[in-house]
């Protein structure tokens, strides 16, 4: 068994590329410099607008805002059991503790005790029915944060609880028919009899189950709200949130105020990833209720462990599917049941399941398909948005199927995937009946297959495995197709304000929020480009509900698409007014006035931008403007689950190579090659940052990041970074080749760019399937490895053991 | 409690160097953390709280201490090390220098602004430090919240490499950054910045005013600090000498001994435990010695209980093969700088990684009470879960490893979900010596994570001793191992996995050390692809 190993195969992985090579491979600096000199401000790799503040520790997050005199601090008392009834509370014990000013319960909420975002089933503070272990029951308000925390930590001693048996897993909820929403069904029949008949007729078929775990957002800055009472009973809330307008609504409902009496501001978040879309609401509401009652500023910043215990995260999914396919691996029919862990309330579980079902196809034409989605109600934290928003959970199921079909047929998985790709002009309608008209998956995957040397590395891995008794290598290529837009049409709107001041400096404000993704950088670039000025003239300011009203969440990757277009609209109006003013003063046609590189050319003469601005002010020209954008052509029928929910699709693909230890299940990513479609990128460096960050984050989801609830008590035992392991610098592969695909968005998006926040989260499917390939090698690829996600060392070793036992 | 104790009649202010001057702090509780002091009292909000338990690195700061001439890694008389501000108590800063992200730009006051900033804007721009400038140019920040912590880890690396005239490899940078979590970038651009910073015009810390200030703070006798807390007063004793420490420990047997506070800090931050009086051992220079010396049974590596984990592991890994991975995987650099091997061993967690390695190396633990010093094999020290043979008033003074063990083959395998900074599901540490007939002459199979204490697999060792080092013997030992341990299931691993891997690790040991056809580490460990460059140690 222990044949000598070819020494060539024992070499270390290829060396790390140095930073100059990394930059050169990613960014065409010469082309960008040329474009910049020609007046372009988009398509340029400008650093993050706050980068200099970040590195100096000068970027202000909510907890860094100088506190007002009299500021009090809040901590939440949490339920020590997962289910039952709250029979009573002995809060005098808490009130007597050092520094405690007040204890707030549900009865102190003047308005509605609810912070549910769509369905109003989410109590701010427990009012009797205990939903999960960690549910906030009361809020301690104290002079210092540590005093508040110490008092709140005694919740277990002061709460009288009648415990009940909790339901903790999605399968258990499914068996008991406990859902937070009615089941969803999406079927498409191309041939008679639909999926069932197609499977029955198929030459090959199999039926199996699959498990994919959830994921904690682990934003580095935890949840935080700082509520400041203002005159006339109104409220200002500084909140780390992706959705200031929703915070405004939730706080106004909780305080029984009108929306115009609540102002929510967010300059930046220290990461969001979906975790601060709806779930910042509880913290905003509690802080506001306390500030309202005590007429003093109140800050609520839960400790990291409490953040884990209170807030939800990416839904874990359990799948059961039956597949029929032909000799080439073409899928003829699929039936799939998906059950998610919604947690104790609906939160965003409905839209998450919708997106999962709209991404089960990923890049593949599925002629006959029958999908059933169930959002299981469990006594755990209410799960919510997380980058991808169900899309990754939908798509990984079909990728698992592709991988299995290839193995069962003894074919290269890439060939099976390719056989199923959407066609161009035919085989191009999604199960929800939107045609795929911008398909580039074949071209993109072909380029990556060549640049990554995929075929040769598959052969090399097989050679390595033939002579390596313990370590096995695996290589996999997976594609991504991801629909861009909110699945609900009316969310796809945005507003912006652009002010040009008389000194020629420009301020832009829009409805999107900055969580690190570079939205403000991109929007400022769009404005600078439109007005033909240098970057430094344009400053973006905090998102503020008193500036742009009725904003949508910064979510679904739409931030730059929507707010970029709205800011462009505002800037364009100002430019047109400036052009008219210039032509009126200096002659020529207003249509011939040119704005570039801080200069204005009119009728053969050239002025500084600021000179024209000063002139325009004297001419009483409005130098500020609003802007608005609504994505065209979207519709969605919730009942039939059909329509045109997405403006366009973003594509990508990745190749991963791993080595797996069959004695321990340890593994290491040796190399990753990525080609991702960001359309005509607004900022290649920012987009590459999104792609790489999403790749590593998604890899964490599928490998090291494991959520473990105690099987009896429902206690989340992985509630801190000591036990919940997100990737570190050493998990970044030594060889990481990342490029953006060359090509415009087919649709008229902002400068023909494409959204880039979520789609690359699916790229590290390649890592999971490379691991599965390596595990499969332990059984000479004869057995389909029963590998769950996350593929922890233990999950991998279990799969190896199973493969060897069957083999 | 009255102030009748001979050496704690008066409280002194906590004095340390911060932002160019010596600050005096009094009136704060002895367990106030450096992070809370920075953010809430000094209003320096650049340093962030991400987890409040030393696992994310957002609060990374650099501590400067006077270094004796010739101290390894010292820069112009100053030892600079990263620590997690969230779990360091403020009185431990007494006599030291605290550097935070706010300090970097001020070092650049004399540097010309880089061209990118001199673009005609009216606002005067303060130049960024090369570490910061490289982070900007390489797009190393996205949300920016972890960034100050990364900047401080990079700055520490920058100063050390500049002083040595070296540059870190990307692997070395990744190892140095293993205690800093970033959720946005995927790390590639941060590693890029770690290389780029050396290509920018150099800016070095002027250590002279710092050294002068710290020399002014030098004290001959121990530091005593106290502050009222409600009705009582908690005391912080920081003795300077081993004898003072021994006396204090006898006088205050119930006081909490504090070394790196990498665990004790969590008792305060997360469990709200009141520590009461504290005896801090970090100022006892004698306790930090790491040296080879002649012991009763020959030459030994003597590791003072106050030596940092980094110093201790570095000394072990440079003398015994096969320990590099466990060293680099032990927590993170900031934790290894603050924490001590003595503390790790005294704490006695069943999942601590020091004890299995030390047991495999036949280490002795040296305990002291007053003037009495006694030793015992480390494997005899633990009684039960978090219980050991320390008597009231006694403390761990050192661990000692016999150098004769260097003739054995030594391996340590840590198994956890993540390579870096994770707590072991299990950790197996082995040493093996074969006789000239290829039979097992000596064998130690020590495991963490398999029982209520770290312990050796007595039955498996017995099954191997004297037997030929063959697959058949290994198979017998694997069966015996299942008799040695009944591990638990928890969030790190199931009992079944722990047992299966523990026995597989014996197989791995055999495959790597058998006389015929031994497999190189490249064939047995996925981590072998990581080209760690560690001072004094070749390869991985």
Clarify whether residues B385 and B316 are in a common domain.
Answer: yes
For B1, other C-beta atoms within 10 Å of its C-beta total 11
| pLDDT recorded at residue B11 | 87
Q: Do A470 and B517 lie within an 8 Å CB cutoff?
A: no
- The number of folded domains in chain B is 3
- The answer to whether residues B214 and B344 belong to one domain is no
Please identify, among B183, B204, B225, the residue that sits at the C-terminal boundary of a domain.
B204
Whose tokens are 């290894």? That residue is B336
Domain end point (choices B178, B204, B230): B204
For residue B69, tell me if it sits in a domain. yes
Structure tokens at A528: 């600078």
For position B121, what pLDDT does the model report? 47
Which residues lie below 8 Å from residue A175, measured CB to CB, with a gap of 6+?
Answer: none
The answer to whether the CB of A688 falls within 8 A of the CB of A27 is yes
Distance between CA atoms of residues A802 and A788, nearest Å: 12
DSSP A493-521: EEEEEEEE-TTS-EEEEES---SSS-HHH
State the DSSP H helix or E strand holding residue A89, giving kind and residue range, or none if neither: strand A84-89
Among A206, A213, A209, A256, smallest CA distance to A235 is for A256
Cβ pairs A/B, distance under 8 A? 311
> Element (H or E) spanning A331, and its range?
strand A331-343
What local confidence, expressed as pLDDT, does residue B113 receive? Answer: 53
- Indicate whether B197 and B166 sit together in one domain: yes
Phi-psi category of A781—alpha, beta or left, where left has phi over 0 and alpha has psi -120 to 50?
A: left
List the single residue in A304, A664, A689 with the smallest CB-CB distance to B504: A664
With contact defined as beta carbons under 8 Å apart, do A114 and A120 qualify? Answer: yes
| Residues B166 and B18 reside in one and the same domain | no
In a domain, B6, yes or no: no
My answer on whether B172 and B268 are in the same domain is: no
- Domain hosting residue B346, numbered range: 289-529
* Residue where the block lists tokens 């891995």: A461
State yes or no: cis peptide before B162, omega within 30 of 0: no
Residues B280 and B301 in one domain: no
State residue A223's pLDDT score: 98
CA A775, CA A743: separation in Å to the nearest integer?
A: 37
- Domain co-membership, B367 together with B392: yes
Measured at the alpha carbon of residue B43, what is the angle toward residues B39 and B45, in degrees to the nearest 5?
55
The last residue of a domain, from among B204, B233, B265 = B204
Among A residues 116-145, those touching chain B with beta carbons less than 8 Å apart: none
- Contacting residues of A for B170, CB less than 8 Å apart: 16, 18, 734
CA proximity to B89, closest of B227, B243, B232, B251: B227
At residue A130, φ and ψ (nearest 5 deg) are: -85, 125
Same domain for B216 and B200: no
Question: In Å, what is the CA distance from B322 to each residue of B259, B433, B447, B519, B537?
Answer: 28, 14, 16, 14, 10
- Whether residue A697 and residue B146 make contact (CB cut-off 8 A), yes or no, is no
Model confidence at B1: pLDDT above 80: no
- Shared domain for B453 and B328, answered yes or no, is yes
Is B239 found in the same domain as B200?
Answer: no
Residue A382 has a pLDDT of: 98
For the segment B457-464, the average pLDDT, to the nearest whole number, is 98
- Listed in sequence order, the DSSP H helices in B141-279 are 147-164, 170-176, 188-196, 207-217, 242-251, 264-269
CB contact under 8 A, A725 and B195: no
pLDDT of B125 above 90: no
The two beta strands, A235-239 and A262-266, are: parallel
The stretches in chain A having pLDDT less than 70 are 1-14
- Which residue is closest to A793 within chain B, CA to CA? B417
- Nearest to residue A22, comparing CAs of B198, B193, B151, B199? B193
Decide if B51 touches A, using CB distance below 8 A: yes
Residue B7, in any domain of the structure: no
Structure tokens at A664: 């321990």
Please say if the pLDDT value at position B123 is more than 80.
no
Residues of A annotated as catalytic are 758
CB A237 within 8 A of CB A251: yes
Which chain B positions have a beta carbon within 8 Å of A794's beta carbon? 425, 493-494, 497
pLDDT tops 60 at residue B120: no
Q: What is the CATH number of the domain that holds B159?
A: 1.10.150.120
CATH 3.90.1170.50 fits A70-165+223-301, yes or no: yes
Q: Could you tell me the sign of the dihedral formed by the alpha carbons of B327, B330, B335, B341, in that order? A: negative
Q: How far is CA B257 from CA A287, B233, B389, in A?
A: 39, 17, 16
Q: Which of 20-49 (B) contact A at CB < 8 A?
A: 36, 39, 43-49
Q: Do domains A1-26+438-488+636-807 and A166-213+313-434 have the same CATH topology?
A: yes
Q: Are residues B200 and B223 in the same domain?
A: no
How many degrees, rounded to 5, is the angle at CA A131 between CA A126 and CA A137? 25
Would B514 be classed as within a structural domain? yes
Give CA angle at A751 (A654, A426), nearest 5°. 55
Q: Is the pLDDT score of B533 beyond 90?
A: no
Q: What distance, in Å, lies between the first and last C-alpha atoms of chain B?
A: 54
The structure tokens listed for A168 are: 């903790």
Paired residues of A335 in beta bridges: A322, A370
- pLDDT band of residue B111 (cuts 50, 70, 90) is low
Residue A787 near residue A773 (C-beta atoms within 8 A) = no
CATH class (in words) of the domain with range A1-26+438-488+636-807: alpha beta
- Residue A144 burial by Cβ neighbours in a 10 Å radius (0-12, 13-18, 19+): middle
User: Using one digit for the tens of pLDDT, what is the confidence trace for B174-214?
Assistant: 999 999 999 999 999 999 999 999 999 999 999 999 999 99
A39-59+493-630 belongs to CATH 3.50.50.60? no
CATH number of residue B233's parent domain: 3.10.20.30
State the Cα–Cα distance between residues B283 and B65, nearest whole angstrom.
11
β-strand partners of B24 = B15
Beta strands, E only, A122-247: 129-130, 136-142, 159-163, 184-188, 204-212, 225-229, 235-239
Does one domain contain both B338 and B427? Answer: yes
Nearest to B471 by CA among B433, B516, B436: B516
Residues in chain B: 540
Whether the predicted pLDDT of B474 surpasses 50 = yes
Closest by alpha carbon to B352, among B284, B275, B262? B262
CA distance B510 to B385: 30
For A259-268, the pLDDT digits (tens) are: 999 999 999 9
Instruction: Say if residues A672 and A654 touch (Cβ distance below 8 Å).
Output: yes
Which residues 169-208 in chain B show a CB within 8 A of chain A?
169-171, 173-175, 177-178, 180-193, 195-196
- How does pLDDT run across A390-426, given as a tens digit for each residue? 999 999 999 999 999 999 999 999 999 999 999 999 9
In a domain, B2, yes or no: no
**Of A19, A794, A798, which is closest to B195 when you measure between CB atoms?**
A19
Binding-face residues of A in 470-489 toward B, CB within 8 A:
470-471
For residue A69, the Cα-to-chain-centroid distance in whole angstroms is: 37
Indicate whether this model's pTM tops 0.95.
Answer: yes
pLDDT at A670: 96
Tell me the C-alpha distance between A657 and A768, whole Å.
10
Q: Pick from A50, A688, A730: which is nearest to B530 by CB?
A: A730
Nearest to A303 by CA among B47, B179, B33, B270: B270
Q: Nearest-CA neighbor of A317 among A340, A299, A335?
A: A340
The pLDDT, as a whole number, for residue B126 is 77
Residues 17-36 of chain A with CB under 8 A from chain B are 18-19, 22-23
Report if residue B8 sits inside a domain: no
User: How far are the Cα atoms of A359, B348, B352, B420, B423 from residue B453, in angstroms, in the given order?
Assistant: 49, 7, 9, 23, 15
Is the CB of residue A161 less than 8 Å from the CB of residue A82? no
Would you state the pLDDT for residue A581?
98
Residue A53: name the closest of A270, A265, A218 by CA. Answer: A270
**Would you state the pLDDT for residue B231?**
78
How many Å apart are CA A587 and CA A595, to the nearest integer? 16
* Cβ within 8 Å, pair A734-B529: yes
What pLDDT is recorded for position B344?
A: 95
Mean pLDDT for chain B? 93
Query: A536 contacts in B (CB within 8 Å)?
Result: 119, 121
Find the CATH number of the domain harbouring B450: 3.30.390.50
- pLDDT tens digits for range B29-64: 999 999 999 999 999 999 999 999 999 999 999 999
Checking DSSP bridges between strand B298-304 and strand B290-295, what pairing results, if any? antiparallel
According to DSSP, residue B166 is labeled -
Q: How far is CA A199 from the centre of its chain?
A: 34
Structural domain includes residue B386: yes
State how far the Cα of B536 lies from the Cα of B540, in Å rounded to an integer: 12
How confident is the model at residue B114, as a pLDDT? 53
CA distance A277 to A512: 12
Sort A576 into a burial class: Cβ within 10 Å, 0-12 / 13-18 / 19+: middle
Top pLDDT among B114 and A48 is at A48
Query: Looking at domain A166-213+313-434, which of 3.30.1360.10, 3.30.365.10, 3.50.50.60, 1.20.140.10 is its CATH number?
Result: 3.30.365.10
pLDDT in tens, B294-350: 988 899 999 999 999 999 999 999 999 999 999 999 999 999 999 999 999 999 999
Spatial separation of the C-alpha atoms in residues A381 and A661, rounded to whole Å? 35
Handedness of CA B338, B341, B345, B346 (dihedral sign): negative
Structural domain boundaries of chain A? 1-26+438-488+636-807, 39-59+493-630, 70-165+223-301, 166-213+313-434
| Rounded Cα–Cα distance for residues B165 and B156 (Å) | 14
């Amino acid at each position: 068994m222990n044949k000598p190993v070819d020494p060539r195969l024992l070499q270390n992985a290829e060396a790390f590329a140095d930073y100059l090579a990394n930059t050169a491979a990613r960014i065409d600096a010469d082309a960008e410099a040329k474009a910049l000199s020609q007046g372009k401000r988009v398509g340029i790799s400008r650093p993050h607008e706050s980068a200099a503040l970040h590195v100096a520790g000068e970027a202000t997050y909510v907890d860094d805002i100088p506190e007002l005199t009299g500021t009090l601090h809040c901590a939440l008392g949490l339920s020590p059991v997962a289910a039952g009834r709250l029979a009573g509370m002995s809060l005098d014990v808490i009130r007597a503790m050092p520094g405690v000013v007040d204890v707030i319960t549900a009865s102190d909420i003047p308005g509605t005790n609810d912070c549910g975002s769509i369905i109003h089933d989410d109590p701010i503070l427990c009012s009797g029915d205990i939903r999960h272990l960690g549910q906030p029951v009361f809020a301690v308000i104290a002079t210092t944060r540590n005093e508040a925390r110490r008092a709140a930590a005694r919740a277990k001693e002061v709460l009288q609880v009648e415990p009940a048996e909790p339901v903790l897993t999605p399968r258990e909820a499914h068996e008991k028919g406990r859902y937070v929403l009615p089941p969803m069904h999406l079927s498409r029949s191309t041939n008679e009899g639909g999926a069932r008949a197609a499977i029955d007729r198929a030459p090959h078929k199999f039926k199996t189950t699959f498990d994919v775990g959830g994921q904690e957002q682990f934003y580095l800055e935890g949840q935080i709200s700082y509520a400041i009472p203002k005159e006339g009973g109104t409220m200002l809330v500084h909140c780390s949130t992706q959705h200031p307008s929703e915070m405004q609504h939730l706080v106004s409902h909780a305080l029984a105020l009108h929306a115009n009496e609540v102002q929510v501001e967010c300059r930046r978040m220290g990461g969001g990833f979906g975790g601060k879309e709806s779930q910042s609401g509880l913290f905003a509401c509690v802080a506001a209720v306390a500030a309202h009652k005590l007429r003093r500023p109140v800050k609520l910043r839960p400790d990291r462990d409490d953040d884990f215990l209170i807030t939800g995260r990416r839904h874990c999914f359990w799948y059961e599917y039956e597949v029929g396919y032909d000799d080439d691996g073409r899928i003829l029919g699929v039936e799939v049941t998906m059950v998610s862990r919604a947690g104790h309330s609906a939160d965003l579980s409905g839209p998450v399941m919708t997106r999962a079902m709209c991404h089960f196809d990923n890049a593949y034409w599925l002629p006959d398909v029958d999908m059933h989605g169930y959002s299981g109600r469990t006594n755990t934290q209410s799960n919510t948005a997380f980058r991808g928003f169900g899309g990754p959970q939908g798509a990984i199921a079909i990728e698992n199927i592709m991988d299995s079909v290839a193995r069962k047929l003894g074919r290269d998985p890439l060939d099976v995937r390719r056989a199923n790709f959407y066609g161009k002009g035919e085989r191009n309608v999604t199960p929800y009946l939107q045609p795929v008209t911008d398909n580039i998956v074949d071209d993109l995957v072909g380029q990556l297959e060549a640049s990554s040397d995929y075929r040769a590395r598959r052969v090399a891995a097989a050679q390595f495995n033939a002579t390596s008794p313990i370590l096995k290598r695996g290589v996999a290529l997976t594609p991504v197709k991801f629909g861009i837009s909110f699945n609900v049409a009316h969310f796809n709107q945005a507003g912006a304000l652009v002010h040009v001041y008389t000194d020629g400096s420009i301020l832009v404000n829009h409805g999107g929020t900055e969580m690190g993704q570079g939205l403000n950088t991109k929007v400022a670039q769009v404005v600078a480009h439109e007005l033909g000025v240098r970057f430094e003239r344009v400053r973006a300011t905090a998102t503020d509900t008193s500036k742009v009203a009725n904003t949508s969440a910064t979510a679904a990757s739409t931030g730059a698409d929507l707010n970029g277009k709205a800011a462009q609209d505002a800037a364009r109006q100002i430019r047109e007014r400036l052009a008219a003013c210039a032509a009126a003063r200096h002659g020529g046609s207003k249509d011939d006035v040119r704005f570039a590189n801080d200069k204005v050319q009119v009728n053969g003469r050239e002025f500084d931008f600021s000179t024209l601005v000063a002139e325009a002010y004297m001419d009483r020209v409005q130098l500020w403007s609003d802007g608005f954008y609504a994505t065209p052509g979207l519709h969605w029928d919730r009942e039939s689950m059909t329509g045109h929910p997405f403006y366009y699709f973003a594509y990508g693909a990745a190749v991963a190579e791993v080595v797996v230890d069959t004695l321990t299940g340890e593994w290491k990513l040796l190399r990753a090659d990525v080609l991702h479609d960001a359309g005509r990128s607004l900022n290649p460096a920012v987009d590459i940052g999104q792609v790489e960050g999403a790749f590593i984050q998604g890899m964490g989801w599928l490998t090291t990041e494991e959520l473990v609830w105690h099987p009896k008590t429902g206690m989340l035992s992985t509630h801190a970074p000591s036990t919940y392991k997100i990737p570190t610098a050493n998990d970044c592969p030594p060889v990481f080749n990342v490029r953006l695909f060359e090509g415009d968005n087919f649709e008229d998006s902002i400068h023909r760019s494409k959204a880039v926040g979520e789609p690359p989260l699916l790229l590290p499917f390649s890592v999971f399937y490379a691991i599965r390939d390596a595990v499969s090698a332990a059984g000479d690829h004869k057995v389909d490895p029963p590998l769950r996600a996350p593929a922890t060392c233990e999950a991998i070793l279990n799969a190896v053991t199973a493969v060897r036992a069957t083999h | 409690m009255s102030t009748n104790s001979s050496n704690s009649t008066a409280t002194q202010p906590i004095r340390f160097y911060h932002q160019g001057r010596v600050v005096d702090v009094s009136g704060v509780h002895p367990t106030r953390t450096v992070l809370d002091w920075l953010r809430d009292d000094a209003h320096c909000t650049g340093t962030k709280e991400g987890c409040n338990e030393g696992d994310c690195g957002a609060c990374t700061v650099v501590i400067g201490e006077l270094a004796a001439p010739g101290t390894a890694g010292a820069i112009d008389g100053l030892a600079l090390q990263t620590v997690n501000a969230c779990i360091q108590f403020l009185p431990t800063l007494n006599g030291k220098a605290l550097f935070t992200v706010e300090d970097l730009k001020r070092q650049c006051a004399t540097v010309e602004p880089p061209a990118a900033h001199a673009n005609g804007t009216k606002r005067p721009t303060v130049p960024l430090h090369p570490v910061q400038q490289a982070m900007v140019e390489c797009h190393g920040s996205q949300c920016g919240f972890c960034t100050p912590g990364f900047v401080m880890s990079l700055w520490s690396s920058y100063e050390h490499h500049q002083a040595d005239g070296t540059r870190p490899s990307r692997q070395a940078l990744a190892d140095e950054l293993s205690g800093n979590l970033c959720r946005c970038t995927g790390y590639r651009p941060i590693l890029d910045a770690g290389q780029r910073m050396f290509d920018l015009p150099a800016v070095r810390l002027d250590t002279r005013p710092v050294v002068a200030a710290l020399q002014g703070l030098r004290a001959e006798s121990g530091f005593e600090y106290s502050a009222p807390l409600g009705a009582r007063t908690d005391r912080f004793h920081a003795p300077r000498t081993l004898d003072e420490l021994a006396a204090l420990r006898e006088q205050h047997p119930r006081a909490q001994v504090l070394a790196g506070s990498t665990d004790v800090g969590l008792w305060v931050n997360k469990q709200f435990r009141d520590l009461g009086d504290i005896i801090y051992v970090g100022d006892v220079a004698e306790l930090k010695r790491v040296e080879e010396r002649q012991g009763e049974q020959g030459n030994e590596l003597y590791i003072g209980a106050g030596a940092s984990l980094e110093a201790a592991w570095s000394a072990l890994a440079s003398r015994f093969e096969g320990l590099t991975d466990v060293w680099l995987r032990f927590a993170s650099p900031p934790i290894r700088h603050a924490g001590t091997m003595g503390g790790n061993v005294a704490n006695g967690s069943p999942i601590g990684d020091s004890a299995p390695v030390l047991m495999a190396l036949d280490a002795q633990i040296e305990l002291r009470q007053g003037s009495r010093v006694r030793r015992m094999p480390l494997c005899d020290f633990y009684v039960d879960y978090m219980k050991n043979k320390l008597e009231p008033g006694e403390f761990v003074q050192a661990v000692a490893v016999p150098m004769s063990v260097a003739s054995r083959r030594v391996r340590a395998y840590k198994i956890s979900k993540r390579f870096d900074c994770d707590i072991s599901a299990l950790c197996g540490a082995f040493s093996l010596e074969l006789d000239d007939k290829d039979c097992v002459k000596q064998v130690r199979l020590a495991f963490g994570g398999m029982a209520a204490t770290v312990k050796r697999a007595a039955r498996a060792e017995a099954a191997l001793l004297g037997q030929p080092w063959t697959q058949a013997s290994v198979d017998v030992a694997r069966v015996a191992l299942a008799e040695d341990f009944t591990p638990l299931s928890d969030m790190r691993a199931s009992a079944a996995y722990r047992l299966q891997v523990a026995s597989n690790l014996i197989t791995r040991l055999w495959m790597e050390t058998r006389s015929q056809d031994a497999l190189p580490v490249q064939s047995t460990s996925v981590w072998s692809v990581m080209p760690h460059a560690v001072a004094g140690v070749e390869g991985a």
